[in-house]
Chains A and B, each alone.
Chain A
Amino acid sequence: MTMLSPAATYHAELREQLGSVGRALSVQRGLLWLARGLAAGTFVVLGVVVWAWTRDAVKTLPIPLLVVVPVSIGLLTALVSLSVRRKMNELARHIDRAARLQERSTTALELGARGEDFPLAIAQMRDAVEHLKRVDLLEAFPLKVPRNELLTTFFVVVIAAIVGISPNPWLLRARASNPSITIAREQAQRVQRLADSIQPNDSAELDALRQLLSKGAKTVDARSNEPDAALNALQDLEQQVQQMGAGDDQLAAALAAIASALAADPTTQGLADAINTGDMRQISQAARDLAQASRSLSGQEQQRIARVLRDAAGRAGRVSQSVAGNLSDAASALQSAAAANAADASDVAQGDQGRAGQQGAASSQAAQAASDALNQLGDSASAADARQRAASQLESSRNALERALGRTQSRSGNSSSSSGRSSSGSQSSSPSQSTDQSRAGGQGQAGDQGGDGMDGNGGMPGGDQGNGGDTGQGGGYSTGGPSQNHTGASVSELDAITRPEQVPGGGAVAPDQSSINPYTSDAGSGNTRTAAESVSPVYSSQPTQGNDSGSIPIGLRDLVKDYFSSLDQK
């Protein structure tokens, strides 16, 4: 066994004592730096809040992030401070100062390091160790609450909160002098509400649309202080939505093509009727209803419907392969189900219960497959409906913002797709629709299918524009048809009509000729079959436009606006 010299023993003991004190000091230092980091982090947060405040984007700041930033900085600085090791001689000097050891530790540490063993050195080291043992750590190094840092943190947080909730006077002034900022914000809110109204769980397409709209709304809102930038963002969003709905025209055309085929059977009549309305939401619901009903059909009915669907698939195949595929799949599945049902009945008659059970299961599976195929069709229609509504809202919002900015609206390019969709939807129903329409309201459907320049959204003062698929049904303007003595002027020309007493048409009117003014004539007597949600964005933009254009009297503006706002909330 090696005996340590007294000097070495005291030296080791001294280092051990210093080490334990050093660890305690490290923890204390860590707490101090935690508070300092916290304070520094709150300054960062304050900077972010002020930055957002100047751009009126405080509400967009994520609160959890604002909390995480200072806490993270605090923890980081604390960890760094804990990882910094003090040199032993520095520690000794620190302890000497704090515990008033009058350089005992420092001297003893030096003596130990040099291995001094003369009597006074030994006495000194022993004295230092004894004094170190008697040091009350809490007294020498009291756990001081870092008051300054915490108070700083508190005040900075309070300042940040005050800044965050207080309105920015410069922005308020800017808004007052530039109403387009308010309009941009309102439009952003409308787009956001539209995004919120889309149920994300319905399909992946809807979810993507909802996210796109929500993100776009936030972008527009964030740029609302620069209305030009907000308009650009709105246009970008509009283009993206249009790109998403690139196949919607084909879908509408395909649906229009199959309507007559579906009308041949009472079971599919509902879907045909829905297609004839042009309302994608109704079409979606009808497709789902048919899918639900297909599960409980008898074998004969299944065969019959399979034929109808196959016929419809054949018609749709010329326009949309996906619609044709869905119908064909459903037809095949129903055919299989019918065959399985027949086999099942035969087996039951022959008393082969086991085989009958297998056939029954096969029949159920086939019916389920048919149901799935029809549901898929319904999903496509639902997604198209949402996209149409979104496109309509975005166009309306863009128009409103453009007007606020005093820009000349050049909608022909942007509105072509929607009007195209609208007209195609109407056209699809033409074969059977014409008769129904004439019976119902006496309005010529052909006129509704007007020219390509038809403004589907908000361009017509006071008119009830067809939005997508709801052209010509119920209320709304009729652009006239052959039976109404209209000369078939294009809708784009009619857009220029601002007074109801103007007589449409290019020819001269003789005094003894009568004419029906489409703007003053009665609305059609047919029921309004378009869902309110699909047209609400368009309608709701009207009071804004009316207010902006001054066509609504000042005293009634708030009333009109409140009314449509309440509709939005519904």
Chain B
Amino acid sequence: MTVLPANVPPGGTPAPPSGTTPYRFIETARAIETEVGQVIIGQSEVVRGVLTCLLAGGHALLEGIPGLGKTLLVRTIGEALDLTFSRVQFTPDLMPADITGTSILRDTSDGGRSLEFQPGPLFAHLVLADEVNRATPKTQSALLEAMQERRVTSGRATHTLPEPFFVLATQNPIEMEGTYPLPEAQLDRFLFKLTVPYPSEDDLLRIAQVTTGANMPHPNRVASGAALLELMHFARDVPVAEPVLRFAVRIVRRTNPETPDAPAEIKRFARYGSSPRGLQSLVLGAKVRGLLEGRYNVAFEDIRAVALAALRHRIILGFEADAEGVTTDKLIHDVVATTPEE
């Protein structure tokens, strides 16, 4: 059994509950997809990506222009999963305490006063951090620390966030003025970075039909937070064959320009490659994808399928790439295409 230490919840990895079966996992996951799909027109890849990220126990960063339904997607997932949901609109004047919570002075019943912690919006199962790059680095750091540690420290007290805890952050690739791009070290905390594409003509037609009528569709709740936790634990048990693991390792190594067998494009355009955390994301995402595809193991194609989402925010491009318009997606495509399975 392959045990990976990535994003391990506090307390370690519990054994999968006996009630969780592969069939149940797949049924639940597909039910969530179906419910979300009723509200979110098109964007099936993004929905699958977010779901994979949730089942792998990670946080997702969604990038796309305004109006593509990012916020709606996150909210719909929250509703389908019967999870507490909060949304924070990040602005430059947003302070860390605004999201983590703050201690306030309260009168006690005995006539005294005490400091009482008022949880912020982070104390929810599903947090939508909208336009996360508009907040100051200070606030971003507070958010990202909570994402990593799954706890919030206020004053001298540490408050554990609820489980499951997911942050789905969005950012806008345009209107960069007045924004604070997330530092690479903090981007690394996101399991996946998903790019929300512009809908196709058919999808736009359906969006127009569905969302402009009198009755807006609402998702049914198909799973609870506890069930989601079970599924998360279950997904971690998916076995990975050594050749597949080695394939993932080779891909991650080859994103590093200092690796001898890295592709020429990587050596030319990339400044830094993926960290080991990227490998963890890659394998975890592949495990979930394998299950969602009806398998109990990870295949090479699972690694390939999640490579973009898992690695695109972990490769830092150099000046030459900017000058020539080379994107991380292209580099990852090259790496995956040229990495041998054996």
Binding site for B on A (CB under 8 A): 93, 102-104, 106-108, 110-111, 116, 118-121, 123-124, 127-128
Rounded to whole angstroms, the CA-CA distance of A362 and B214 in the bound complex is 138
- A120 near B239 with CB under 8 A, answer yes
Cβ B242 vs Cβ A123 within 8 A = no
B128 → A minimal CB distance (Å): 32
In the complex, are the beta carbons of A110 and B296 less than 8 A apart? Answer: no
Q: Contact between A119 and B243 (Cβ–Cβ < 8 Å)?
A: no
- Of B58-66, B102-110, B298-306, B326-334, the one contacting chain A is B298-306
Q: Which residues of B281-321 are within 8 A (CB) of A?
A: 293, 295-301
**Minimal beta-carbon separation of A125 from chain B (angstroms):** 9
| Chain A residue nearest in CB terms to B237 | A120
Q: Shortest Cβ distance from A94 into chain B, in angstroms?
A: 11
| Distance in angstroms between the alpha carbons of A111 and B237 in the assembled complex | 12
Identify the closest chain A residue to B20 (Cβ): A119
Residue from B1, B243, B297, B301 within 8 A of A104 (CB atoms): B297
CB-based contact B300/A120 at 8 Å: no
Kindly list the 6 A-B residue pairs having the minimum CB-CB distance in the complex, ordered from nearest.
A102-B299, A124-B296, A107-B297, A107-B241, A106-B241, A120-B237
On whether the beta carbons of A127 and B237 are closer than 8 Å, the reply is no
Bound CA–CA A127/B290 (angstroms): 13
Q: How far is the CA of A120 from the CA of B297 in the complex (A)?
A: 9
In the complex, residue of chain B having the shortest beta-carbon distance to the beta carbon of A97: B341
Q: Which residues of chain A are within 8 angstroms of B22 by Cβ–Cβ distance?
A: 120, 123
Q: Complex: how many Å from CA A111 to CA B293?
A: 20
Nearest Cβ on chain B to A258's Cβ, whole angstroms: 92
Q: Any chain A CB within 8 A of the CB of B234? A: yes
Q: Chain B, 1-43, contact with A by CB distance < 8 Å: what is the 0/1 string?
A: 1000000000000011010011000000000000000000000
- List chain B positions with a Cβ less than 8 A from chain A: 1, 15-16, 18, 21-22, 234, 237-244, 293, 295-301, 342
B295 CB to closest chain A CB (Å) equals 6
CB distance from B284 to the nearest CB of A (A): 15
Chain B residues whose CB sits within 8 angstroms of the CB of A116 once the complex forms: 1, 239
B121 CB to nearest A CB, Å: 36
Q: Could you say which of B243, B296, B301 contacts A123, with CB atoms under 8 Å apart?
A: B296
Main secondary structure of the interface of A (DSSP, over half): helix
Contact residues in A for B239 (Cβ distance below 8 Å)? 107, 110-111, 116, 120-121, 124
Residues of chain A contacted by B241 (CB below 8 angstroms): 103, 106-107, 110
Which residues of the other chain, B, contact A106 by a CB distance below 8 angstroms? 241, 243-244
Contact B237 A118 (CB under 8 A): yes
Q: Are B240 and A120 in contact (CB under 8 A)?
A: no
B296: A residues at CB distance < 8 A: 120, 123-124, 127
CB pair A102 B243 closer than 8 Å: no
The reply to whether B16 and A124 contact each other, CB–CB distance below 8 Å, is: no
Contact indicator B295/A127 (Cβ below 8 Å):
yes
Q: How far is the CA of A108 from the CA of B16 in the complex (A)?
A: 19
Question: Within 8 Å CB of B16, what residues of A?
Answer: 118-120
28 cross-chain CB contacts under 8 A: A102-B300, A103-B241, A103-B243, A103-B297, A103-B298, A104-B295, A104-B297, A106-B243, A107-B239, A107-B240, A107-B241, A107-B298, A110-B242, A111-B239, A118-B237, A119-B18, A119-B21, A119-B237, A120-B16, A120-B22, A120-B238, A121-B1, A121-B239, A123-B21, A123-B296, A127-B295, A127-B296, A128-B297
* Chain B neighbourhood of A103, CB < 8 A: 241, 243-244, 297-300
